[in-house]
Structure formats: structure tokens, C-alpha cells
């Protein structure tokens, strides 16, 4: 598995396994076990996913050494006022004494206070790297300019229909690694049958889904595809025996709408929604 080197020297697999919307304990535990058995060595969860305990149970049952697994969780906004305690609670649920990466899940509420808590945990050695999620360039630049530890990661909606090309340029300028959530856009815009991706895939005997993932990793975007089907997990890992041509990359770039398929974090309605959630 190829890796990326974060801004503090920590190596992270360029592809991991996500467990968003896998809230059933047994289903999530089995999915993580299947993912590890398939070859994944990075697992991405979050406090808001309500499955940290299931992930922890899978890690305990697996025969993979803890040091060989890159484990990520995210702090939910309702915990920003006491992020340090919430991260320590996450570690208990996950059954670990350190985390490889912890992100702030949303750029709302008192994220400066929460980030300083992450900085403290990082300096104490309880977290190997810290970062953010869903921070658009304006908020990322503001945070970078006013904190001691530059975020190692910014995890944002990134897929062939919303490619984050400009945002990635700013992340690279400030030495922040881009990571994709929703690399399949949850199948929206008929991604799995898209004619451009399908035709490119025929040249390499790959599916539209594999081409969509390869496009991101070839742009040095970390990906965390999700599936509860082991065969698809394995297919999602089968990306590293081919390279897309310059023409392929150009044709896929043309699919970019530069708009979210889920929500605009800069809209007042989104801000109001998250601020309400921060109080729950």
C-alpha cells in the first residue's frame, strides 16, 4: 500500500477503510475485520458515527498488531468545549492508548478551543497527528495562521464531481494533506455507471468505481472508501497495478462541477444547522 508523509513525518496509507453509516455493532465489527483481512491498514471512524466500540472490538479480535494500523477518529462539535476528555473517551471505546490521527469534524462552534485540546494531546504523545475536516480554504488558512501545530490533514468531500482542485492547492501551500470523504459521492450522479469512467476502465480492465478512486490517489488524495461487502472492499484496494494516462486525467477533470453534492458549509442554513447540533 502506498503511503503519504504528513507534515510531521508520520506515514499514512493513501487508502483506508471508512465506517460512516455502519452503526450496527455486529455489522461494523465484521466489516472492519473483513477490511483488515483484505489488506486495509487504516481505519477511519468518528464520535458521531456511533461505532467506535464496534471498531475497537474488531481491532481487539484481529491478529493485526496495533502499530500496523493507522486509526483515525473525529471530535463531534457538541464535544468541542471539552475535546480532550472526549478524545480520551474515544480511546477507551476503541480500546487503545493512542490514536494515529484525530480530526475536528466540523468548522463550527468553538473549534479553536477544541483544536488547542488536540494540540495538547499531540504534545503529550497521545495522538500522532491532528487535523480538521470540512474546513474550506478560508477557515483552514485562518486556523493555520493562529495555532502552534499545522493541521496534518483536511478531510473534505472529494470525488470526481467535486474534485477540490483549488482547495488542494491551498492545502499544499500550507503543507496540509488532503483526504477525501465520500470518494464515491455515495453513488450520486450515477457515478458507478458514468460513461467517461466506464470507458476509461475498459482500457485497464477496471470498473468505473476503481477508476474514480485511482483518479484521486493519482492526485495524491487520501481516500477512505466504505463497503460492507468483502468482495467490493478487495476491489477498492485493487488500484495499484495501473496508471491513468494524461488524457484519462484530463477527461475525468472535465467531470468536475466544483459544487458539493451534499451541503455547502459556507451557507447560513448549514451554519445554523451545525450550531443547533453543537448544543445537543
Reported as a pLDDT band with limits 50, 70 and 90, residue 278 is: confident
Return contacts of 191-199, CB within 8 angstroms, 24+ apart.
191/159, 191/160, 191/161, 194/160, 194/255, 196/251, 196/252, 196/254, 196/255, 197/160, 197/252
pLDDT of amino acid 48: 96
pTM, two decimals, is: 0.96
pLDDT of amino acid 197: 98
Average pLDDT, integer, range 158-168: 98
Say what angle helices 25-38 and 52-61 make with each other, to 10 degrees.
50
3-277 belongs to CATH 3.40.220.10: no
Interval 10-61: pLDDT, tens: 999 999 999 999 989 999 999 999 999 999 999 999 999 999 999 999 999 9
**CA–CA gap between residue 35 and residue 6 (Å, rounded):** 23
Average pLDDT, integer, range 112-138: 97
Active-site choice (20, 40, 49, 98) = 49
**CA–CA gap between residue 181 and residue 218 (Å, rounded):** 16
* Bridge partners (DSSP) listed for residue 99: 127
Of 250, 188, 240, 189, nearest to 213 by C-alpha is 240
Calculate the dihedral angle through the C-alpha atoms of 264, 265, 270, 276, rounding to the nearest 10 degrees.
Answer: 160
Is 215 an active-site residue? no
In this structure, are residues 30 and 61 in contact, taking their beta carbons and an 8 Å threshold? Answer: no
Domains of the chain by residue range? 3-277
Amino acid at each position: 500500500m502506498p503511503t503519504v508523509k504528513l507534515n510531521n513525518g508520520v506515514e499514512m496509507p493513501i487508502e483506508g477503510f471508512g465506517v460512516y453509516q455502519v452503526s450496527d455493532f455486529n455489522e461494523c465489527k465484521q466489516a472492519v475485520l473483513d477490511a483488515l483481512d483484505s489488506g486495509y491498514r487504516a481505519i477511519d471512524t468518528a464520535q458521531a458515527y456511533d461505532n467506535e466500540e464496534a471498531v475497537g472490538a474488531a481491532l481487539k479480535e484481529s491478529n493485526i498488531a496495533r502499530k500496523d494500523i493507522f486509526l483515525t477518529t473525529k471530535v463531534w462539535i457538541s464535544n468541542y468545549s471539552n475535546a480532550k476528555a472526549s478524545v480520551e473517551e474515544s480511546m477507551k471505546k476503541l480500546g487503545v492508548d493512542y490514536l494515529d490521527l484525530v480530526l475536528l469534524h466540523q468548522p463550527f462552534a468553538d473549534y479553536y478551543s477544541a483544536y488547542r485540546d488536540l494540540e495538547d494531546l499531540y504534545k503529550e504523545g497521545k495522538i500522532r497527528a491532528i487535523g480538521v475536516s470540512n474546513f474550506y480554504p478560508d477557515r483552514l488558512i485562518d486556523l493555520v495562521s493562529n495555532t502552534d501545530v499545522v493541521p496534518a490533514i483536511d478531510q473534505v468531500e472529494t470525488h470526481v464531481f467535486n474534485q477540490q482542485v483549488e482547495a488542494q492547492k491551498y492545502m499544499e501551500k500550507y503543507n496540509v494533506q488532503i483526504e477525501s470523504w465520500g470518494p464515491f459521492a455515495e453513488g450520486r450522479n450515477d457515478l458507478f455507471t458514468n460513461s467517461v469512467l466506464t470507458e476509461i476502465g475498459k482500457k485497464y480492465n477496471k470498473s468505473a468505481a476503481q477508476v474514480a478512486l485511482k483518479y484521486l490517489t493519482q492526485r495524491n488524495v487520501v481516500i477512505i472508501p466504505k463497503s460492507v461487502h468483502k468482495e467490493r472492499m478487495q476491489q477498492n484496494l485493487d488500484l495499484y497495478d495501473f496508471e491513468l494516462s494524461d488524457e484519462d486525467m484530463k477527461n475525468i477533470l472535465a467531470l468536475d462541477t466544483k459544487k458539493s453534492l451534499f451541503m455547502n458549509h459556507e451557507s447560513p442554513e448549514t451554519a445554523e444547522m451545525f450550531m443547533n447540533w453543537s448544543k445537543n
